[in-house]
Amino acid sequence: MGRTIVEKIIGRHGGGDCRAGDVVWMGIDNRTARDFAGASVVANLEQYGGDSPVADPGKTFFTFDCNVPANTIPYAENQQRIREFARDRGIRVYDVDAGIGSHVTIEEGYGLPGTTTVGTDSHLNIMGSVGAFGQGMGDTDIAFAFKTGKVWFEVPPSVRVELQGMPSRGTEAKDVALAMLGRFSGHELLGKSVEVYGPWAEQATLPDCITLSSLATEMGAIIALIPPNGNVLQYFGISREDAVYADPDAEYEAEYTLDIEGLMPMIACPPSPTNVFPVHEMTSVRVDGVFIGSCTNGTYEDLVLTAELLRGRKVAPGVMLKVVPATRTTWSRLLDEGYLKVIFDAGGIISNAGCAGCASGQIGMTGSGEVQVSTSNRNFKGKQGKGETYLAGIGTAVASAVLGRIASVHELWPR
């Protein structure tokens, strides 16, 4: 019997011929922690780490992305505690300037197809976008991974999702992900490794894959794995032989199909990412703020699209447009190429790279009654303040900022 992608990746990392349900020790290629929970990882290692708290400093790094630079004293304390621990042990710190750790992990070439990465970020399963394993874990797990290079893991059951057809023009990866969230709102994917197939997955760009896989956590899935397509292989300069694919006779716990032919832009209304509707049904909702960024929609391509849609336009009076590129590398490129100027001139507020509102960070919190359209991934009650958060793609976010109400990108197009 053949094996699924997750069974193969875990198998190559110490799991042997493992199958769903087996509990194995999995070797971890990249062991990371953020400024959030990183200090607790350090505390765990100081308590339990003994004389050699870090197995391999070359495979271990910290990424600061939650509160960057620290705007609260406790975060500043935690970051400094981590820096000192890291300095003493020769561990690299991607500091407050670097941006979102999961994106840095891909950009810096750690998160290659087929690798394993763990860290204190619940969206580290974003590695599914490149056909790699990633998982967010708590500070005990991560401290243990720092010390031993391993974690115990129960091989999750795999399910197969076939996306049939192609979405309509103006519909983005985020809308496809939202369609999946709406379809699987009944905990069908809870605890599963989801493999995504179909023509859309075969043509998706790396940023598209990142957007979709970043929402696996909200689907309740362990990970959403997209088998590396030509775009992803080309990004890393590798061939199919270097990546991991499921066997043709792999066994899935369930197989689903979802028709995305002609899919229109979608939006997740409060209070949950699975509360999904077509954008055109929500156009009477007035907005106070728009947030563009996060690990879900903060790539270079996302922000180029933002700038192109904003070119020659202005943000509606009274609406805040908050823009946060995912990483410093992205920031730099957007700066050099003039895109940030376009966003700025349209009325955008541009902040330094990081997770922003998703972690009570530098930008993006809401007050009671405030309505925010956000390209991020969670809109649970109280998550980003007392306001109401709607989750959408770039086109919807920009159109809403320009028109001062929820709007589809189609409303910006010439008639």
Partner 1 sequence: MNKSLVLRGRLWVLRQDGRLFSDIDTDMIFHNAHLAVVEMEKMGQYAFGNLEGYQKFAEMAEPGDLVLAGDNFGSGSSRQHAVDCFKALGVQAVVARSFGAIYKRNAINSGFPVIELPGLPDGLFTHHAIAELDLEKGVLSSGTVSFTGLPMSGVASEIYSAGGLFQYAEHLEGV
103 contacts partner 1 (rule: CB under 8 A): no
155 contacts partner 1 (rule: CB under 8 A): no
CB-CB neighbours of 31 under 10 Å: 29
Q: Cβ contacts of residue 84 below 8 Å, gap of 6+? A: none
CB of 217 to partner 1, least distance (A): 7
What is the residue whose two structure tokens read 């910006």? Answer: 412
CB of 298 to partner 1, least distance (A): 18
CB of 346 to partner 1, least distance (A): 30
Return the residues of window 288-327 that contact partner 1 according to CB under 8 A.
none
Label residues 226-254 b or e (16+ Cβ within 10 Å = b): bbbbeebbebbeeeeeebbbbeeebebee
- Angle CA(6)–CA(211)–CA(173) in degrees, nearest 5? 110
CB of 188 to partner 1, least distance (A): 11
382 contacts partner 1 (rule: CB under 8 A): yes
One residue of 360, 372, 375, 408 binding partner 1 per CB under 8 A: 360
Return the residues of window 6-45 that contact partner 1 according to CB under 8 A.
23, 25, 36-37, 39-40, 43-44
One residue of 8, 31, 174, 378 binding partner 1 per CB under 8 A: 378
412 contacts partner 1 (rule: CB under 8 A): no
**Which residues sit opposite 33 in a β-bridge?**
62
Q: Going along 325-381, which residue ranges are E strands?
A: 348-350, 371-374
Nearest to 340 by CA among 307, 310, 313, 309: 307
Q: Cβ contacts of residue 241 below 8 Å, gap of 6+? A: none
3-class state of residue 32 by DSSP: strand
Q: Which amino acid is at 156?
A: P
381 contacts partner 1 (rule: CB under 8 A): yes
74 contacts partner 1 (rule: CB under 8 A): yes
CB of 33 to partner 1, least distance (A): 10
Q: What residues make contact with partner 1 under the rule CB under 8 A? A: 23, 25, 36-37, 39-40, 43-44, 48, 66-67, 72, 74-75, 77-78, 120-122, 135-141, 143-144, 148, 150, 152, 154, 156, 187, 190-191, 217, 220, 222, 272, 359-360, 378, 380-383
